[in-house]
Structure 1
Amino acid sequence: MSAFFVPRLRPDPRAFLRPVRLVRGEYARAYSGLPRRAWILFAVNLVNASGAMVFFFLSLYLTREMGLTAAKAGQALSLYGFGSLAGAFAGGWLSDRMGSIRVQKMSLAVTGVLLIALGQVRSVAGILPLLFGMALFAGMLYPANATSMAMVCPPDLQVKGFALNRLANNLGATIGPAVGGMLAVRSYGLLFWADGLTSLAAAAVFALLWKGARDAKNGRDAAGGAGAGAGSGAAAGAKPTGRAEPAGSEQRDAALGEAGGIGRPESGEEEATRAGEMTGPARAVASKRAPMGRSPWRDAPFLLMQVIFFFWSMVFIQVLSTFPIYMRNVYGLAENRIGQLYPVNTILIVLLEMILMEKIRKYPRTRMINVSFLLLGLGLGLMPLGRGFWFGALTVAIWTFGEMLSMPLVTALVSQRADDSNRGRYMGMNSFSFSLAFIAGPAAGLAIYDGLGPDAVWFVCAATCVVITIAFSALRPALAKR
């Protein structure tokens, strides 16, 4: 009897590490290249979003703690919506005049104080003006923050910068409501204190980190200038990593309000005072500031794009307003199962959005926005065609990819049409479109739900997405011309 020797094959440990290295490489590429200030904006957004609790429980607070009827509470929430609308305009307008950094610090600090005050008031007459004021100052944050992100990131990295902000907001949205729910069970007063204090903490973190980044940059500029002399301007702005500062960084600092400027010429005594406090490069930039750019109200392609984005937002808002009711009444899912569908959206955004933005950089933004419209319509239009938790999760995954492709790309497209002198107003208009849809969308969706039936909502959403895809395709040539 013959025997055969079969050698024992040992698994190569490197084979198991290859997929890990591949994934790690994808994430490294997705997050690489972003300037330090973009990460500061991310950190501030994360702190602020993690403490955003009051809004999620505001209707319960007004009805259960304050004794308002559902109708009165709805009117109060509408007042909040109008405050957000006003804040979107004000935040953009002030960013072009005060500097977007100052607007963000003011927004966070004042919102924190008003949140704490709102929790101490026990009369409707006191709550309503505080609620409007809180919404007004909170609404200023987004256009100012988007303006800052656009200015600190080079043009080819702006989409990734806006996606980074969305990552912070989505991570915070998973923390804030969970912590807020635990606090609300004990005391609604704790809810207002926690939300207000985290807003103030975000303002403090912003001030400290931004000052540190500015001081470090000034130190590098000074060191580079001393070592290289007047003949090597590129080296003067070099970072320790060997990468040069993006071109135009001094101009962006001036528009952000960091060089003592506000992005437009100043008059007389104030300009002389600021110029005396500036270093040479900053003073040169300030002296050459361009006048305020064109108003977004005179940019016809931009206004048409905002109409399209308004209808997109009307559709998207349904996933926050009509979706839970539909899942409860039509799919028969209990509240806890409905609550488990939303993390599908959050997890996909956190894990994949930055990688997705890196992968699509070579494609035209407007083409990808068109794809996003179709994916949103497909995900929502499929909902009446199936039942059950897993089919619902599939539809959420589909429209989430539509959301990931649209939100940062639309914001980048808006930024592309502006310059440093009017970017705040453009971002404010963009924020205004979404805020207006936030007011009108739930009412429109639920009216269709009651009048035409639950399934009709999603068929109308799918049809709307097809229409705006066609409209945006027709608008693309005009958007290509600035």
Structure 2
Amino acid sequence: MKKFLALYINSYRGLSTPAWMLALVMLINRTGAMVLPFLAIYMREHLHFSLQDAGIVLSFFGLGSLLGNIAGGWLTDRFGNFKVQCLSLFLVAPLYLLVGALDTVPALSAGIFSISFVADLFRPANSAAITSYAKPENITRAFSLNRMAINLGFSFGPFLGGLLASISYNFLFWGNALGSFIAGIIFFVYFNKVKKRTVVKSNEVVFNNNTRRSAYSDWPYIFFAFACMLYFIPFCQILNAIPLFFNEKAALNTAQIGTIMGYSGFIIVLTEMMIVSLAQKRFSVYNSILLGTVFIIPGYLIYLFTTELLMLYISISLISLSEMLVMPFTATVGALRAGTHNKGSYMALNALGFSMAFIITPFLSTKIISAYGYNGLWLTDVLFIITALVCFVVIKKIMPLQEPAVTLEKSKKATLEDAL
């Protein structure tokens, strides 16, 4: 137990104060993200939209996310991550209040598109900030810390949103606006003072002599982003087909499904930093991604043979382990591939794969389930994952990375404090 605690504490130490502040801003911002989980219910119950109309509005959310990431990367490279993050946090707050007053399909579609677009300007700028404030050897752990904040926020947000929605749906939009505004105030007050003074100079090393080129002209990296999308498409089933499968085939009620989904977030928050630290010590960035991609395969194959509750938990554990090994390291690839002045486009292209998957997966899943059933879907997902795995192997050969030394590997004789 002592060794476990030391390892757990060790995984968090050594990260810069700005990295912790970025995570705090992300936590507050994502905790305030209350509208999305209840948006479909809000449209059906409060606005009395048809199922088809609700689907149209939700599709505009995905489109806004896609274009917001592209624009966020472009703006970050030209104006810096500080200005773009401030713009996103402060501009999205009044948009939430405006959308709360919209009650027609065209108006709400435009409003949701605007919210998604402005909110996702934040993502590439925030990722670029992480690469600026973290030491090269700590970049992956800094991304992991940010992901932990996102997972915590998405755990608290729906809970608070459910309480507010039970009183009035209007409170959801006010809660979102307040969360974004508070996050913006904290971000501005802290980073307005430290943005020039505490940037880690050692991180300005240019990897692969890639100082000016846009990510959109870097063909090996575009291929990498495509491989990530192939992985993300089946991964997004955890938000789409998997809950439906648990309900329709495993006969689980909503409380049981919520418990399994909550378990996924809990183990990610509890163990991701430690797993990432261990992976950094033992594997290269690419090998960690390859290992994580392999773990998700049995997670889906389980559904072909059983719906036993214990096996469903094992499946979710494998999918969560895969997520922890793949996602922080895919962000690291972008950070290492980018130069000093093009981080925004690389971080944006890294996020585009997930945005595309968010658009593709719901449509593709329903089509496959209707034609071939759930077994056809899981086999298709495995095919996507194997294809992504092959692509990652090829990318490892054609796009080598100059990886920084990991501080935790200094010496076996080093004390815990020395290693940090």
Measured after TM superposition, the shift of residue 319 of structure 1 is: 1.2
Q: What stretches of structure 2 of length at least 5 have no aligned partner? A: 403-420
2: CA distance between counterparts of 1:200 and 1:74?
29
Amino acid at match of 1:338: I
Residue 479, structure 1, aligned to residue 392, structure 2: no
1: CA distance between counterparts of 2:167 and 2:47?
16
Specify the SS of the correspondent of 2:277: helix
1: CA distance between counterparts of 2:327 and 2:47?
36
Amino acid at match of 2:307: R
Residue 390, structure 1, aligned to residue 310, structure 2: yes
Q: Taking structure 1 as reference, are residues 103 and 377 closer, same or farther at Cα in structure 2, changes over 3 Å only? A: same
Measured after TM superposition, the shift of residue 214 of structure 1 is: 5.1
Q: 2:235 is matched with which residue?
A: 316
Matches within 5 A, 1:34-183: 34-183=15-164
Specify the SS of the correspondent of 2:132: helix
Q: What stretches of structure 1 of length at least 5 have no aligned partner? A: 1-18, 219-244, 253-289
Among 353, 358, 362, the alignment partner of 2:277 is 358
Amino acid at match of 1:120: A
Matches within 5 A, 1:48-447: 48-213=29-194, 217=197, 246-248=200-202, 293-362=212-281, 363-447=283-367
Question: 2:136 touches 2:202 (CA, 8 Å); kept in 1?
Answer: no
1: CA distance between counterparts of 2:8 and 2:211?
39
Amino acid at match of 1:472: F
Measured after TM superposition, the shift of residue 359 of structure 1 is: 0.8
Q: Taking structure 1 as reference, are residues 430 and 183 closer, same or farther at Cα in structure 2, changes over 3 Å only? A: same
Moved more, 469-478 or 398-407: 469-478
Q: Taking structure 1 as reference, are residues 125 and 398 closer, same or farther at Cα in structure 2, changes over 3 Å only? A: closer
Among 380, 384, 401, the alignment partner of 1:464 is 384
Q: Taking structure 1 as reference, are residues 149 and 481 closer, same or farther at Cα in structure 2, changes over 3 Å only? A: closer
Question: 2:23 touches 2:146 (CA, 8 Å); kept in 1?
Answer: yes
Question: 1:144 touches 1:424 (CA, 8 Å); kept in 2?
Answer: yes
1: CA distance between counterparts of 2:318 and 2:106?
44
2: CA distance between counterparts of 1:376 and 1:80?
27
Question: 1:377 touches 1:463 (CA, 8 Å); kept in 2?
Answer: no
Q: Deviations over 1:170-216 (max 9, x none)?
A: 0111100011011111110011001111111100011112235459x
Amino acid at match of 1:406: V
Q: 2:413 is matched with which residue?
A: none
Q: 1:455 is matched with which residue?
A: 375
| TM-score, L = length of structure 2 | 0.91
Measured after TM superposition, the shift of residue 124 of structure 1 is: 3.5
2: CA distance between counterparts of 1:246 and 1:102?
19
Q: 2:414 is matched with which residue?
A: none
Amino acid at match of 1:322: A
Q: 1:27 is matched with which residue?
A: 8
Amino acid at match of 2:336: Q
Q: Which structure's CA Rg is the greater one?
A: 1
Q: Taking structure 1 as reference, are residues 356 and 440 closer, same or farther at Cα in structure 2, changes over 3 Å only? A: same
Measured after TM superposition, the shift of residue 479 of structure 1 is: 1.4
| TM-score, L = length of structure 1 | 0.80
Higher relative contact order (CA 8 A, sep 6+): 2
Amino acid at match of 1:247: K
Specify the SS of the correspondent of 2:351: helix
**Percentage identity across paired residues of the two chains:** 28
Amino acid at match of 2:285: R
Specify the SS of the correspondent of 1:453: helix
1: CA distance between counterparts of 2:356 and 2:363?
12
Amino acid at match of 1:385: F
1: CA distance between counterparts of 2:364 and 2:54?
19
Question: 1:372 touches 1:403 (CA, 8 Å); kept in 2?
Answer: yes
Q: Deviations over 1:414-453 (max 9, x none)?
A: 1111012001001111111211110011111121111111
Measured after TM superposition, the shift of residue 112 of structure 1 is: 1.0
Measured after TM superposition, the shift of residue 125 of structure 1 is: 4.0
Measured after TM superposition, the shift of residue 347 of structure 1 is: 1.3
**RMSD over aligned Cα atoms:** 2.0
Q: Taking structure 1 as reference, are residues 356 and 321 closer, same or farther at Cα in structure 2, changes over 3 Å only? A: same
2: CA distance between counterparts of 1:22 and 1:211?
39
2: CA distance between counterparts of 1:433 and 1:452?
26
